[in-house]
Structure 1
Amino acid sequence: MANVNVNGRSVTYSDSGGDGHPVILGHGFFLDHTVFAAQAEALGERWRVIAWDARGHGGTADDGVPFTYWDQARDVLALMDALGVERATVGGVSQGGFIALRTALLAPDRVSALILSDTEAQACDPYDKVRYEGLFAALSERGPAEELIGPLGTQIIGDHPQAEIWRERWRSSPLPLGSPVDCLLGRVDVTARLPEITCPALLMWGSQDRSLPVERMEVLRDRLHDATPIHVISGAAHSPPLTHPHEVNRVMSDFLSALAPARLR
C-alpha cells in the first residue's frame, strides 16, 4: 500500500509493479482497494495490477468538497500520470465501473480496454435511491448498528466469510457518508454515450447480486462497441473479485491474454 498526490489529495493505492501491461482497478461502495488482493497476486507476474481507493474510502480521505464520478475518473488519469502509465486497461466493480466508463469517455486514447463487473451506465434507479437514502440516513444517525451492517454485508458480499470481515471494518472505521453518498446517488446517466467507447470491454456479473440486476449490464453488452458476453460468476453477490477470485482471475486472464498487442502499448 502506498500514497500519491492526485488532484490535490492523497490517494491510497497498491501496485504489483513490473513491466507488464497496467490494469487499474476500482472497488465498490463501502469497500477499498484490498478487494483486488487476489487479482494482484494471481495476475501480477504478467500484468501490472494497480488498485486504488476512491474518495472517502480506505486510505483516501473525503475532504468534504462535492465531487462526481467524472472527477474520480480524472483521479484515475492523474494516478496514471503520477505512476508513469500512459495507457492501461481500466476497470472496477459497481462504482469502480462507473468511474472506469467515465475514464474511457474522457480519455479514450489512454484506455486500452475495460473490465466491468456488476456495474451500469444508468443513473441511480429511483426505487434504489429511496432505499439507499434511508440506509445512509440511518447510518449517519446510528452509526454501524448491527441491524444495518448485517444486511449490508450480505447484500454487498453475500453469504461468505468476507462479509463478517468487512462488517468488523465498518464497526471500527469511518463510513463513506456525505460527499461519497451524494456522488453515488446523484450520478448522471451515460447510456447514450456508450457507443463512443470503442475499446474491448470484459463484462462480469455475480449470479446472486441483489444490488444490480443483470438487465442493467445487458445495456452495456448491447451498446458498447466491443463487449464480451456477460460472464456470470456463479454464486457471487455484488463483489465477485473478493469472494470468487479463482473464476474472476481466470476470466480476466483470458480476456487480457486475448487483447491485440497494439492494445497493450
Structure 2
Amino acid sequence: MPPPPPSVAGGGRCILSFAALRDRCFSHRFLAAGLRPLAVQLPVGGREDPHTTVHMWVPASPPRNPLLLLHGFGASATWQWYPYLRPLIAAGFDPIVPDLLFFGNSCTRLPDRSDIFQARSIKAAMDAIGVTRFGLVGVSYGGFVGYRMAEMYPDAVEKVAMVCAGVCLEEKDLAEGLFPVAGVEEAAALLVPRRPDEVRRLVRLTFVRPPLIMPSCFLWDYIKVMGSDHMLEKTELLYALISGRQLSTLPKLSQKTLIVWGEQDKVFPMELAHRLKRHLEGNSRLVVINNAGHAVNLEKPQEVCKSIIEFFQEPAYEASNEEKV
C-alpha cells in the first residue's frame, strides 16, 4: 500500500517531484544503515537469465543473522521497510530487503505470476548471495510469498512472521462480503490504483488515521513515479493469487510463526488472522496492534518491530499466547 501523502492544503501543479525526492531519501537511509543495492540475475536452465532480475538491498558484510523482509503491494521495498532498519540492526539482525518481481527494479519476461514463482525467485536470489538459512518477515502480499517460501524451503526458512497477510482467504470470501471488494477485478482496481481518487480510497481503507487532505498533484506524482510501471503484471499477480483460492489446499507450516495484525484492518479483516492461527494448529502466536489498520507496518512501526525482534530473539515461546499492543 502507498504511504500516506503529505497533508498540505491547496491544489495547483507540483513543480518538484515529491515522490522522486522521497524515494532518493529512503535509498540514502538504506545506504546509511550499511546496506548496498544489488541486482541479481536469476539462473534459468543452468544459466543466468538476463530478463529475470531481482533487485535487493543486502548487508555490505556477509550476514551472520539474516532476516529477509518481503514488502506488500505499493511502492518499492525501501518505502515500506525504512523505519525497521536501524532497530533491527541494533538488535543484531542483518536485514535483506528485495523488491518482489514487478516492483521496484525487479522484473522478468517469464509468464508465471504465481506466488510460487515469486518464492522460487527470491530463494534463488538468496542462494546467489550465499544466504542459505534465514528468518522471514512478510507484509500483506509479501506474506503470501513468504508463506510459500517457508512451505517450499523448510530447511532454509527458520521462523516466519506474517504481518496482515491474509493467506487463509478463499475466493468465495469476496462474494460473501468479507472484504471491501466483491471480486478479483475490483480487488485489482483497489490495489493497483491508476487515478488519484483510487489512491485516496486505498489510503482511507488501509490507514486508521489517513490524511484529511490529499492533493491530486501529489497523488498523480506518486502514481507516475512509483505506481505506473508493470500495472498489467501486478493485476495478473492478484488474479493468480486469488482466483480459485481455497483454504483446504493451503499447506501448514512446520516453522514457528508470528502473526501480527492491525485490529482495524479493513483489507484483510481480523477473521483471517484467527483463521490462520487455527490453521497452524498451535504452531503460531497472534499479536494484535490496537488503533491500526492494514498498513500497520507504517502506522505502528515501533510496535510491529518490537514484536518481530522479540519473536526472532526467543528460542521458544508459548504458541497459544495472544497479545494486544
Both proteins in one fold, TM over 0.5: yes
Distance 1:194 1:132 in 2: 19
Counterpart code for 2:287: H
Q: How many residues align?
A: 257
Distance 2:191 2:165 in 1: 24
After TM superposition, give the deviation of residue 234 of structure 1 in Å. 1.8
Alignment of 1:94-113 (within 5 A): 94-113=140-159
Q: Residue 23 of structure 1 contacts residue 89 of structure 1 at CA under 8 Å; is this kept in 2?
A: yes
Distance 1:40 1:226 in 2: 30
After TM superposition, give the deviation of residue 106 of structure 1 in Å. 0.9
1:47 correspondence with 2:47 = no
Matched with 1:220 is 276
3-state DSSP of counterpart to 2:40: strand
More helix by percentage: 1
Q: Which runs of 5+ in 2 are unaligned?
A: 1-36, 44-48, 317-325
Matched with 1:30 is 74
Matched with 2:20 is none
Alignment of 1:93-242 (within 5 A): 93-121=139-167, 122-124=169-171, 125-127=173-175, 128=179, 130-131=182-183, 133-134=185-186, 136=188, 144-160=194-210, 167=219, 168-173=221-226, 174-187=228-241, 189=245, 191-192=247-248, 196-225=252-281, 227-242=283-298
Distance 1:3 1:13 in 2: 6
- Seen in structure 2, the aligned counterparts of structure 1 residues 137 and 96 have a Cα distance that, compared at 3 Å, is closer
Question: TM-score scaled by structure 1?
Answer: 0.84
Matched with 2:113 is 67
Q: Residue 69 of structure 1 contacts residue 98 of structure 1 at CA under 8 Å; is this kept in 2?
A: yes
- Seen in structure 2, the aligned counterparts of structure 1 residues 218 and 135 have a Cα distance that, compared at 3 Å, is closer
Distance 1:139 1:102 in 2: 21
Distance 1:65 1:175 in 2: 17
**What's the Cα RMSD here?**
2.9
Identity %, equivalent residues: 24
Matched with 1:4 is 40
**Larger Rg computed on CA atoms:** 2
- Of 73, 77, 81, 2:127 maps to 81
Q: Which runs of 5+ in 1 are unaligned?
A: 261-265
Distance 1:245 1:131 in 2: 31
Question: TM-score scaled by structure 2?
Answer: 0.70
